A and B are shown apart, each in its own frame.
Chain A
Amino acid sequence: MGKGQPAYTDEEFVAAIRRDDDRALAQLYRLHFPMISHYVLQNSGTEDEAKDVYQEGVMVFYEKVREGSLELSCQIKTYLYAVCRRLWLKRLTEKTRFGGRLDDHEPYLETGAEADLEVAEERDRQLGTMSQALERIGEPCRSLLEGFYLLDKSMQQLTTEFGYTNADNAKNQKYKCLVRLKKLFFSQYQEHET
């Protein structure tokens, strides 16, 4: 790495990410990307696909850390590798490049990556539904909800931005929007589930 940046150990990485230290995240990202990139390129992938898979893997790791539910039984490197390998193999089968017949030669490592990935998949689906629901809810609800929940703007800010007479009006509008979103979200989410 060099460049006078502090070198983190695995525990320090976890602690720093929990503290929301962006520099640690960036460094972690840089540290392990070559490994995943190499793996994906070796296995008939492209640079872009490597990037996608790696970012997904890092996200799984990051969210686990932020939730505080991460129990590392191995190195971060191994964990990331296992997650990304699973993700990439899944993508490959989806591409049906190998006609669905894809052997995983490498020994199974007890990293907990499998279980974490299932949770992450469920979450992905949930967030995907949410994004669809937000698409369909229409303006001004979408901007209002995005402003409040996604961009962390205060109610005060939103009141002036959307030209409401006072914060209470804005709040009421927000609740109405939430109700609409709820209907869209749950109808779609349940549809998927059944």
Chain B
Amino acid sequence: MKTEADYYALFDAYRAGTLPDEERVALERRLSADSELARRLQEFEELTGTLTAYGRRLALRRKLHAIHADMDAEQAVRLTPLAKVAEEDERHEQFATGQAPRPLLRISRTEQKLRAFWNGHRATMMVAASVAVMAVFATLLGLEWWRASQKPSLYGYTVLRREVERIKRTQRSMNRTLTQIESQPERSNPGKFSGTGFALTADGYLVTSYHVIQGADSLLIEGHDRQRFRAEPVFTDVAHDLAILQIKDKGFKGFGRLPYSFKRGQSDLGEKVYTLGYPREDLVFNDGSLSARSGFEGDTGFYQISIPVNPGNSGGPLLDDRGNLIGVISGRQMDAQSAAFATKSSYLMRLVDSLGAAGAGEPYNMPRTNQLTGTSRPQQIRKLQDYVFVVKVYE
């Protein structure tokens, strides 16, 4: 009786092909007849096959490890061209074996951890960072937008600065008809906004509303006679919506004597008032009465007047029948019929006085006499029109 080991010897020889012919034939015959023996052969083959495969796997793994080590070493060489002294010995060995020196990149443990952490969470952190950046910008923009829309006009209150862009279209069609008549159309940058302003002193100070010049880069004053001057804001009072400008042009000779005077006290209810302004390209007159001695939401710095005002009227002078300047047009209430507001002249005077007292700039030579008293309104206006200007704002 053969032991299992003997069978294995037989199988081994059979597989290696060293079995003599007659034995091989006998074995093959037995294999086809004896299923037990066939199973045994199959097991043997599986076993030896697995063993060799295992051997090959180990060899391959060693090979790959060697390749990887090589690669790492090369990278280390690239990263640290100067070998460390500590690796001197190793290098000597490697020189002896004829290989290039391969210093390793040494990284401290904490740095290793940090690197692993960074590698693992880089994507998350980047997303978080971009979200944070977006949030910051969105908040800033939103705040800015909110402030811009809320601050200058409270609910229901509209400032009367004229947005030139809006009117541009109608203006253009008008220009088109004009150019058919005039061969040389007047080319001028219309500016972004415009309002009205008027002379404060004979030597070049002007008054307008603060919201007209708000955010302005440069200001241009244009009179009834189309004469233009460059102006700069001298002082602004946001609370009372006032701004004082000064003409800076060298060629400016002065306005001449102002025909109106400024009223220091308050005016009475029911007083007939009128204004001149530039809601369009031409001087426009409007009149009405003084309807309340407080402005929007009870603001005592303003009068309420029943004058139909339009964008562009802002900063215009408000005069009473006797030609006293009693206010500066500022805005109107949206949801009320013909309710406009004007800053009281007493506040303007207080502002001018305080500026004069502070001694900032040249003294303000306010007009003292009034040439308008007792004249008819068209006469008043004829005198006035040279002292009312368009304020063009460039942003």
Residues of A at the B interface (CB closer than 8 Å) are 22, 25-26, 29-30, 33, 41-42, 44-46, 51, 55, 58-59, 62-63, 66, 123, 126-127, 130-131, 134, 145-146, 149-152, 171-172, 175-176, 178-179, 181-182, 185-186
Contacts and interface: CB of A to CB of B under 8 A. Distances in A.
A150 B5 contact: no
A175 B8 contact: yes
Interface string B205-241: 0000000000000000000000000000000000000
Nearest to A29: B67
Contact of B55 (A29, A44, A66, A151): A151
Nearest to A177: B5
B51 interface: yes
B291 to A, nearest CB: 70
B71 interface: yes
Given A44-B120, A179-B5, A26 B67 contact: yes
Contacts of A130: 50-51, 54
B9 A175 contact: yes
B5 A182 contact: no
Given A29-B67, A150-B54, A171-B9, 10 more contacts: A30-B67, A51-B68, A59-B64, A134-B54, A149-B52, A172-B5, A175-B6, A175-B12, A178-B47, A178-B48
A149 B54 CA distance: 9
A121 B285 CA distance: 95
B181 to A, nearest CB: 70
Contacts of B68: 29, 33, 51, 55
The DSSP consensus for interface residues of chain A is helix
Contacts of A181: 47, 51
Given A46-B119, A151-B55, A171-B9, A182 B47 contact: yes
B63 A185 contact: no
Contacts of B54: 127, 130-131, 134, 149-150
Interface in B1-18: 4-6, 8-9, 12
B383 interface: no
A134 B55 CA distance: 12
A72 to B, nearest CB: 19
A123 B119 CA distance: 33
Nearest to B40: A182
A80 B19 CA distance: 44
Interface string B26-38: 0000000000000
A171 B5 CA distance: 10
A121 to B, nearest CB: 14
B61 A55 contact: yes
B50 A127 contact: yes
Contacts of A22: 63
A156 B54 CA distance: 22
A66 B52 CA distance: 13
B52 A26 contact: no
A185 B67 contact: no
Nearest to A3: B74
Nearest to B65: A55
B5 A46 contact: no
A172 to B, nearest CB: 7
Contacts of A127: 50, 53-54, 57
A45 B119 CA distance: 8
A149 B58 CA distance: 11
B5 A175 contact: yes
B128 interface: no
A25 B63 contact: yes
B175 to A, nearest CB: 60
Contact of A185 (B47, B61, B71): B47
Contacts of B47: 178, 181-182, 185
Contacts of A179: 4-5, 8
Nearest to B50: A130
B124 to A, nearest CB: 9
Given A42-B123, A171-B9, A25 B67 contact: yes
A135 to B, nearest CB: 12
A42 to B, nearest CB: 7
A29 B58 CA distance: 17
A152 B5 contact: no
Interface in B108-134: 116, 119-123
B43 A29 contact: no
B9 to A, nearest CB: 5
Given A127-B50, A149-B48, A152-B55, A29 B9 contact: no
Nearest to A185: B47
